[in-house]
Structure 1
Amino acid sequence: MKFFTGFLLSMVFLALASCDSGDDAGVPDKGYRYFPLAVGHYQIYDIVEITYTLRDPDTARYELRVETPDSFLNADGDSTYVVYRSKRLPGEVAWTYLDTWSARRTPEELVVQEENIPYVKLRFPPYNGQVWNGNAYNTGERDDYQLDSLGQGQTRGAQHFDDCLTVLQHDNEDFIVFLDQRKEVYAADIGLVYKETTQLSYCTQPGCLAQQLVEQGVIYKQWLKEYGKAE
């Protein structure tokens, strides 16, 4: 009888252990994989940037390297990751340093500090139709970001990504005064794979109103071409 009781307890223990195997067992997917953060990771992008002024538009083409060389703990226990950005023109070998950004992921959101301005890039867990204020931690006006699609495959540039998340940051469709269209695409286990920004101010004088004559602005497109982990 004692042998049977011991055997039964052992089987119960094994059953419970098997149900609890793995760090993420039974835990819903939070969507962190769409912006993985790890020291040593890097991405290289192709950039096309068209700048409009009162003169003819100026088109720049270059490569952008984004790398994460370090991280540090915050007072709340979360980690902030240091992000170095550098660029090079077509045909160049050496990279020229641009600036330093940072990224911080909490259980609820991803905050990226761009030129000392924090933006809430993602909210966790993501779901279709999700809306949040991208300017929640800066002094800008409320700017509602919307999760437009989740888990869909996309082809960007020369690469295809099976599982992507698309965020529409703004889409006012104003072709008379100021056009503001911004979106970012993130791929699972990779991070940002595509970014597009169109911000154009049109002439509003009586002689050119509604003619879509651009006075100033920018069209910016960023495609991922390479990614990995530095050795």
Structure 2
Amino acid sequence: MNIKRNTILVFCFLSIIFLFSACSDETEPAGNIDFGYEYFPLAVGKYRVYVSDSIVLRSAGTIRDTLKSYIREEIIEQNISAEGDTMYYVNVYFKRKVDDDWKYQKTVFVTKSVQKVTRQEDNLLFTKMVFPLKAGLRFNHNQYFDSQIDIVIGGEVMRAMYDGWNTRVETINKDLLFEGNKVKNVKIRLVDDVSTSLEKKVYYETYIQNIGLYSKTMIFLQDNNTGTEPIEERAVKGFYHNLTLLEHN
């Protein structure tokens, strides 16, 4: 059945997501390729803690809920999939304040092969990263589901939020100051910046070598009508979301 529109409920602040599939026909001798696997390291027992800052529009944009929280992801198990790839089980925990106890939220599934990393979360399968990494590489982040699906956020329906994405590796092997040291990072822009009279889309993620996801920035805003004011002032639904790494092992 070809369902053009579905509605999927997700957390207003969103957690951590996304994943897979390459679009490059270029080949090189295997011995000369730097695949970039170290930007997405996975091993049982590894964890990362993030601070999450979000603003969610409610009641047709008349209310803006601000939420600061903390998210912990820990790899608890691994198995080999039917295709021979390694699947990791990742427990996600949440708390509102730094001194609160962690509360289990859900388990997500991350699969890593020689070509890609995928992440299954909230019944959606995303493309997280493809190999070999190189600047300008484009891939289909939303390949495994209908990009026309609607998402309910803050009680408002976001129409086709996943439509029209043009995911690409923007920069790679650039220096970033982290924990007092210069480290290499890769920046993936999941959707080209869009700002029209009806919507605004911004989404990019940064990964650190030998650590993984370092930060995420998301802005998705929509209005039902056109207008002359900036979309940031007129939006009746949507959210702002920033995620930054605090702790890891």
Structure 2 length normalisation: TM-score?
Answer: 0.75
Give the fraction of aligned pairs with identical amino acids, expressed as a percent.
24
Structure 1 length normalisation: TM-score?
Answer: 0.80
Q: Give the structure 1 partner of residue 220 of structure 2.
A: 199
Q: Give the structure 1 partner of residue 191 of structure 2.
A: 170
Q: Give the structure 2 partner of residue 143 of structure 1.
A: 165
Residue by residue over 1:72-94, the C-alpha shift from the partner in whole angstroms, topping out at 9 and shown as x without a partner, is 11112111101111111124331
Q: How does 1:88-99 map to 2 (within 5 A)?
A: 88-99=95-106
1:219 aligns with 2:219: no
**Letter of the 1:28 counterpart:** I
Q: Indicate which of 43, 46, 58 corresponds to 1:41.
A: 46
Number of residue pairs matched? 201
* Alpha carbons 2:139, 2:166 under 8 Å: kept: yes
Deviation at 1:26, TM superposition (A): 4.6
Distance 1:162 1:57, change over 3 A: same
CA distance in 2, matches of 1:115, 1:155: 33
RMSD across aligned C-alpha pairs, in angstroms?
2.0
The DSSP-based 3-state class of the residue aligned with 1:48 is: strand
> For the pair shown, which has the larger CA radius of gyration, 1 or 2?
1
Residue by residue over 1:196-218, the C-alpha shift from the partner in whole angstroms, topping out at 9 and shown as x without a partner, is 1100013525xx44442110100
Residue by residue over 1:26-58, the C-alpha shift from the partner in whole angstroms, topping out at 9 and shown as x without a partner, is 563211110101000000001101001223211
Give the helix-richer structure, 1 or 2.
Answer: 1
**Letter of the 1:200 counterpart:** L
Q: Indicate which of 72, 75, 78 corresponds to 2:79.
A: 72
Out of 215-224 and 82-91, give the one that drifted further.
82-91
Distance 1:102 1:142, change over 3 A: farther
* Alpha carbons 2:50, 2:72 under 8 Å: kept: yes
Question: Greater RCO between the two (CA within 8 Å, min separation 6)?
Answer: 2
Q: Give the structure 1 partner of residue 119 of structure 2.
A: 112
The DSSP-based 3-state class of the residue aligned with 2:38 is: helix
CA distance in 2, matches of 1:30, 1:109: 10
Distance 1:160 1:216, change over 3 A: farther
Q: Give the structure 1 partner of residue 7 of structure 2.
A: none
* Alpha carbons 1:175, 1:202 under 8 Å: kept: no
Deviation at 1:132, TM superposition (A): 0.8
Deviation at 1:111, TM superposition (A): 0.7
* Alpha carbons 1:64, 1:86 under 8 Å: kept: yes
Q: Indicate which of 42, 50, 56 corresponds to 2:55.
A: 50
Q: Give the structure 2 partner of residue 30 of structure 1.
A: 35
Deviation at 1:114, TM superposition (A): 2.1
1:153 aligns with 2:178: no
* Alpha carbons 2:165, 2:192 under 8 Å: kept: no
Distance 1:62 1:30, change over 3 A: same
Q: Give the structure 1 partner of residue 13 of structure 2.
A: none
Q: Give the structure 2 partner of residue 3 of structure 1.
A: none
